[in-house]
Structure 1
Amino acid sequence: MLVPLTRKTFEELVPLVATGDQYKYYWGKFSDLLRRLLISIAGVVAVVILRSFLGQAFNIVIFLLGFSAGFYWLWGPVYLASQRNRLLRRYPYSGFWQGEVQDVFVTEELIGTEETVNQRGELVLVENRERCLNLEVGDETGFYTNLQVPLKREHRAIRPGDVAQMVVVSNRSDLSRISQVSDIYLSDYDLWVSDYPYLRRDSFVEVSRRLSEPTARMSTPERPHPRTSPRKKRSRKYT
């Protein structure tokens, strides 16, 4: 099922300013906070140096620059999330998509490497790997996409055939070619599968409830088949 969304509804689902979940995503770990603090300190130092060249005639400008730089550690996540939202909001057309989980399996992905010294004093390269959930969803029209996210305990409930819902965006008014998709909502478990939480979740659940009613499905017009890359068969099963 693919139902076009009005621009107003889409902008409610993908806000211009970061939501709480999006802010939390970009707040990151302690190392991310420390990095932003260092940027704030460097920014304040740069503003102080700039003030010595400009003099008191630009005090208001200097104050605003210093205030912004000093609190970058706090407002930085808002800026980063808002920029990411803007990249999705640039597409003029959007739709509510509902299909099924086609396949689900776990892989171990390389997320980084680091050098360390073993007991014999030799320098060795250690690979950091993370277990990831690979979720493949599709529908009867042939549309197919996949999402890879870090594995969580609640993901173990997911099985092929589960109902999957998300927002899709396109540059075409008939949504015949999908350019990007949002995070995925599994209504059977009230479970979200996402790396970045694009959608305002309470609003999406309300849209899902409204559009998934039998009357809404009966009145939905047939949509052209979105073009997607051929689906690859997977032999590895999710356990």
Structure 2
Amino acid sequence: MLVPLTRQKFEELIPVIATGPQYAYYWGKFQEFLKRLLISVLVVVVVSLLGNFVLGEQLGWITFFLGVIGGLYWLWGPIYSASLRNVSYRRYPYSGFWRGEVLDVFVTEELIGEEQTVNNRGQLVIIENRERRLNIEVGDETGFTTQIQAPLKKTHKAIRPGQIAEMVVLSNQKDLGRIAKFTDIYLPDENLWVSDYPYLQRGFFVDVSRQLQYADDVPYPEEPKERTQRRKRSRRP
């Protein structure tokens, strides 16, 4: 099932300014905070030198303003990063509410980064950082399928093939004939979200989901018979 969304509803679902969960996502771990803090300190130093040797006392207010903005980068940096990501999705002119089902779910171990260090012999050693991630494939009766990866959580144990799955899809075509992007996946039966980055205003999305659930002309999808055998091969997270 695919229901077009008005531009107003879409902009409520994905706001321009970062939400709380989006800010927390880009806040990151302690190491990422230290990187932003180091950038803030460097900016303050550069701005101070620029003010003393280039701008002079007459334009000291500019130095002060730039110093404050740069010194607080550690605080507003996550807002900026999340807002840029939101804007990259909001540039699509058309969107729709999609409802299908879980086709497959399994766990993989993915490489998420590398670190270089030196061992006791003075040799350079590359350490691979790997993370167990959930892979969930969803689809509908039209044959549309897509897959999303997300960090594995304990709550993901409740996910099973055949469960209803919902999300917002984005397109450059008015009839939504070709899907360009999609957002977080919501499983209403378990009240569970699956995503890496929280694109949606989740409370508002749940309201839209409930409105469509109880609409007489928008029933929940029936289980396709041809996918029964495929589900038996699914692996639990």
Aligned partners of 2:164 and 2:44: how far apart in 1?
Answer: 51
- Between 107-116 and 147-156, report the one with greater CA deviation: 107-116
> Could you tell me which amino acid in structure 2 is paired with residue 17 of structure 1?
I
User: 1:3 is matched with which residue?
Assistant: 3
User: 1:98 is matched with which residue?
Assistant: 99
Percent identical: 61
State the secondary structure of the residue aligned to 2:216: helix
Runs of at least 4 residues of structure 1 off by over 3 A?
Answer: 113-126, 232-236
Q: Post-superposition shift, 1:235?
A: 5.8
Q: Post-superposition shift, 1:211?
A: 1.5
Aligned partners of 2:38 and 2:118: how far apart in 1?
Answer: 28
Does residue 1:151 correspond to 2:149, yes or no?
Answer: no
- 1:116 to 1:69, Cα distance in 2 relative to 1, 3 A: closer
User: 1:76 is matched with which residue?
Assistant: 77
- 1:37 to 1:234, Cα distance in 2 relative to 1, 3 A: farther
User: 1:24 is matched with which residue?
Assistant: 24
Aligned partners of 2:143 and 2:58: how far apart in 1?
Answer: 65
Structure 1 contact 104–135 (Cα < 8 Å) conserved = yes
Structure 1 residues 1-239: aligned runs within 5 Å: 1-52=1-52, 53-115=54-116, 124-217=125-218, 237-239=235-237
Aligned partners of 1:55 and 1:184: how far apart in 2?
Answer: 54
Q: Post-superposition shift, 1:111?
A: 2.0
Q: Post-superposition shift, 1:215?
A: 1.6
Structure 1 contact 23–77 (Cα < 8 Å) conserved = yes
Structure 1 contact 210–216 (Cα < 8 Å) conserved = no
Structure 2 contact 96–169 (Cα < 8 Å) conserved = yes
User: 1:226 is matched with which residue?
Assistant: none
- CA displacement, residues 72-112 of structure 1 (integer Å, 9 cap, x when unaligned): 10111111100000000000100000000000001111223
Count matched residues: 226
Structure 2 contact 161–231 (Cα < 8 Å) conserved = no
Q: Post-superposition shift, 1:113?
A: 3.2
Q: TM-score, normalised by structure 1?
A: 0.88
> Could you tell me which amino acid in structure 2 is paired with residue 39 of structure 1?
I
Q: Post-superposition shift, 1:213?
A: 1.7
Q: TM-score, normalised by structure 2?
A: 0.89
Structure 2 contact 104–234 (Cα < 8 Å) conserved = no
User: 2:225 is matched with which residue?
Assistant: none
- 1:203 to 1:236, Cα distance in 2 relative to 1, 3 A: closer
- CA displacement, residues 9-62 of structure 1 (integer Å, 9 cap, x when unaligned): 000000000000000000111001100100000010111011121112322322
Q: Post-superposition shift, 1:123?
A: 5.7
Q: Post-superposition shift, 1:238?
A: 2.4
- CA displacement, residues 178-216 of structure 1 (integer Å, 9 cap, x when unaligned): 000001111011100000000001010001111122424
Q: Post-superposition shift, 1:117?
A: 6.3
Aligned partners of 2:231 and 2:106: how far apart in 1?
Answer: 12
Aligned partners of 1:184 and 1:139: how far apart in 2?
Answer: 14
Structure 1 contact 106–132 (Cα < 8 Å) conserved = yes
